[in-house]
Structure formats: C-alpha cells, structure tokens
Structure 1
Amino acid sequence: MKHPLEILLETDDLVAINKPAGLLSIPDREQSEPSLKDHLLNRFGSIYTVHRLDKETSGVIVFAKNESSHRYLSQQFESRTTEKFYNGLVLGKVYDEEGVIDEPIGEHPAKKGLMTVVRKGKPSVTAFRCLQSFSMYSWMEFKILTGRTHQIRVHMKHYGHPIVCDPLYGDGKPVLLSSIKKKFKLGKDVLEEKPLLNRLALHARELRFSDIQGKQIILEAPLPKDLRATLQQLEKQGV
C-alpha cells in the first residue's frame, strides 16, 4: 500500500478503518487489484466482511475478526439498527435545508452494473441536510436508513443534484480551481491544472453500532485532504 492504513478502532472482535478513496473494500470478481480486505487478511489472518463502501468512497468501514462477531455485527446492518452518516458534495444549489428521499431502487433495466429508481425496486430511504450552499455546489450530510447499492448516488441523481465527480450517475467532471476562482492563473512552469477533486465526492463520516459485548460504539473518520481543500476553496471564493 502507498500509505499505511488508518485504524480507527481495533479490538479482539473487530477492526475499523478510515478507508482511502480508490481502494476496493473487498475483492472484485476479477481479482483485478488488491482490496482493503486483502490487506487486512495479510495483517490479521482472518477477516470477515460486514458491509462495504464503493471503491471511490472514503471513510469508516468495519470488519469482524471472528465468526461470532461477524454474525452479531451483520445482524445489526441487516436489521438497520446501525446509524450511518455520510458527507458529500453535490452539483447545484440545494434550496431545501433538509428532507427525506423515499424511492425504491433496483437494477437498471438496460445498463448493467447501474442502479436506478424503479417502481418495483427495494424500499430505499435517504435523509439529507444541506450544511453549506454555494452557487454551483452544495455540501450535504446524508443518513441512510437502508443500505442499497449506490443508494446515495442514485437518490441524489433522482433529486436533481448528483454527487460531484460521479462517472455513473453524474457528469464525472473534476472540480478545478479555475472554475471557481475568478482570477485564476496557472503557475509559470505548470503546463496543466491539477484538479482540486477528481474522485467521487462522498465520505462515510460516522458509524454507530454496538459491539458483541453490547457496548455502544461511535466511530468518526476525519474528512480526507482532497474534500477539505475543495471545501476551503469554495468558502474562500464565496461561490
């Protein structure tokens, strides 16, 4: 790995990581690249998948270290007693301070690997709050009450404000300083502008659950550098 894993919590029963963007949570079908689970297996010997994050999503993810912990934690995710909070940057100015998107999600009938809002899909509920509103973007908090594939991404597309840099449900375009700074100039020896953000602008910030001893656990993953830098520039430019 390029950087050491940031462990948020480790006990005899579980390990929680602040997953960097660009790393698979678990191996894909093609075994195309090392996943976070592979790294943890090498480190701990036995690791069990409890839930997952999309490859380009950063933030809190928990793995179990033994079968009993795996059963206990998985049951919480399945029964929706866990609480999951995300932050995300979306395209456009969101005028609603808060709301709930309650729309069923299922596989796209024509596009393989894509999900969509569809009448016969599984019940899916996302609560949102607009934390900061800019002219071209909005900084959001999401609480997902169900755990469908690509849920926040699909719901925000349906809502008309896709997640920034989303190649599947948005325009996939990076955030450039030149697009938000009025008097932007490239450095003298710089040939090409480096994006402020060029990955899915979604971060799993907080996870609340109880461990196998019944202890309430609240885990929080700090915002990664790319999202922090983007927010700082948006605030600075007043856009």
Structure 2
Amino acid sequence: MRIDDLIIIEDEHLVAINKPAGLLTIPAREGSEISLKTLLRQKYGNIFTVHRLDKETSGLVVFAKHEESHKLLSQLFEGRDVEKFYQGLVIGKPVNAEGSIDGAIMEHPAKRGMMVINRRGKPSHTDYKVLESFRAFSWMEFQIHTGRTHQIRVHMKDLGHPIVCDELYGDGKPILISSIKRNYKLSKDELEERPILNRLGLHSWKLRFKLYDKEYALEAEVPKDLRALLQQLRKNK
C-alpha cells in the first residue's frame, strides 16, 4: 500500500487521507497491526492525530503536521466547527426520507467497545437523508454534528435501519449478489458465492472547515466495493 496514493490534499499544516476500509487509523494497544498513522510516520516523521475512523469505515481522515495545527484542528473537530458528511448503505427504508436523531450515547455497561443510547450518555446529533431507495436497502447521507464513538451506527440501529454488514449493531451478514440479482447462478469455476460486500457499508465523504483563514472543502470518492454494490442495486432495482 503506497501512502501517496491515499493522499487527497496536503500543505504545511495538515494532510488529508482517503483511508481504505480494513486499515486502522491509529495503532491498536497491541501494536501488531499496521495503521494509517504508522504509514504516515514513515513518510513525515512526526504526525499528530486529530480524529479517527472505525477500522472498517473508509474515507476522509485528517492528520496535523505540527503541534499548533494539531491544537487548532482538535478544537475544531471537538466543537461544532467542522461540517462532517458520511454516506452509507442501510438495511430497509426509513419511514421519513430525512430527519434528525438526538439520542445521547454512552458505552454499554457490560459490553466493552459497544455503545448504546441512554439519557445519561453524551449529547449526540445526526441528520440523515435518503439519497436512493432499493428493494431491501437505502443509500443515505449523514451529517454528524457531534463526534461520538460509532455515532451513525448506533443512531441507525435505533432508527431500525442498521448499516449493512455491521457485526456490532446489525446482523453482520455479507451482501451476496444472489440476494440482489434474480436468477443468479454460480459460474462453473466457483464452489461458493463470494460476497459483493463483507465490510461495514459506511464512508466518510466530506469535511468542511476553516483553518488559518483558509477554507478547506475536502471530499473522498466512494471506494470501489461500494460503487460496485450500488451499480448492481441500480441495475436490479
């Protein structure tokens, strides 16, 4: 994996990356698995974490290049001064084509690493909009106004429409082409069907913010696996 192929923009203050799904943003405690930050350190030396994405979520991540920009960017991301947009595929079709979810989020009292909606949790706000509807799925846009762990995943579970392939908050089942395409048959060389998507169907799409009087409007293209799935859903609508 070449880190240069993942860079969307860089200047003297920051570097923005289109993170592939399956890659950690920062090193895990065990430190055995490669992470985006490790790759960036190999290129830049010192690099500073501003925010992070779940391992299976693809898309935009911003890192700071020096201590001052790290402090300013961290303040922007922790407050409500960054516009954060995601796109994702959910199971089913929400009753309302757009709306807001304000369920407060806290860590599950018994299950480490899992979050739940609870009035004692931290305030959390997600706006959502259905972009396209299919028979069993909806392609959606999310704008998060807070940055809680697993926020979109928890809120969509609460709405009754979890993100596809979500092992924590949904059924975790991969999406097979046979579930989309009528009369699908395996080729002679295939013993079993390979999933068209078997990772969390969520992508960090756009970030907008202002730093040192410069306006940043960043966008990360939806990755190939999600594009291929959307193409199949549109063809078999």
Q: Same fold (TM over 0.5)?
A: yes
Q: Which runs of 5+ in 2 are unaligned?
A: none
Deviations 1:145-201 (A, max 9, x none): 000000000000011000000010001101100011111011111112111111000
Partner of 1:119: 119
Alignment partners' CA distance in 2, 1:57 and 1:207: 15
Q: How many pairs align?
A: 237
Deviations 1:105-142 (A, max 9, x none): 00111211100001100000000000111121110000
Deviations 1:194-234 (A, max 9, x none): 111110000000001112x2101000000100000111111
Question: Are 2:108 and 1:108 equivalent residues in the alignment?
Answer: yes
Whether the 8 Å contact between 1:5 and 1:19 is mirrored in structure 2 is: no
Q: Rate the CA distance shift 1:39–1:3 in 2: closer, same or farther, 3 A.
A: closer
Give the structure-2-normalised TM-score.
0.98
CA RMSD across the alignment: 1.1
Partner of 2:41: 41
Alignment partners' CA distance in 2, 1:141 and 1:174: 21
Partner of 1:152: 152
Alignment partners' CA distance in 1, 2:155 and 2:57: 16
Q: Which runs of 5+ in 1 are unaligned?
A: none
For 1:227, the aligned partner's letter is L
For 1:136, the aligned partner's letter is A
Percent identity over the alignment? 63
Deviations 1:37-84 (A, max 9, x none): 000001100100000000000001000000011011111011210000
Equivalent residue of 1:43, what SS? helix
Whether the 8 Å contact between 1:124 and 1:146 is mirrored in structure 2 is: yes
Whether the 8 Å contact between 1:94 and 1:133 is mirrored in structure 2 is: no
Partner of 2:236: 237
Deviations 1:9-55 (A, max 9, x none): 01011100000000000011111301100000011001000000000
Question: Are 2:174 and 1:169 equivalent residues in the alignment?
Answer: no
Whether the 8 Å contact between 2:100 and 2:128 is mirrored in structure 1 is: yes
* Structure 1 segment 48-87 matched on structure 2, within 5 A: 48-87=48-87
Whether the 8 Å contact between 1:186 and 1:193 is mirrored in structure 2 is: yes
For 2:102, the aligned partner's letter is D
Q: Rate the CA distance shift 1:108–1:73 in 2: closer, same or farther, 3 A.
A: same
Partner of 1:224: 223
Question: Are 2:24 and 1:24 equivalent residues in the alignment?
Answer: yes
Whether the 8 Å contact between 2:3 and 2:40 is mirrored in structure 1 is: no
Partner of 1:204: 204
Question: Are 2:190 and 1:195 equivalent residues in the alignment?
Answer: no
Alignment partners' CA distance in 2, 1:57 and 1:16: 15
Alignment partners' CA distance in 2, 1:235 and 1:166: 22
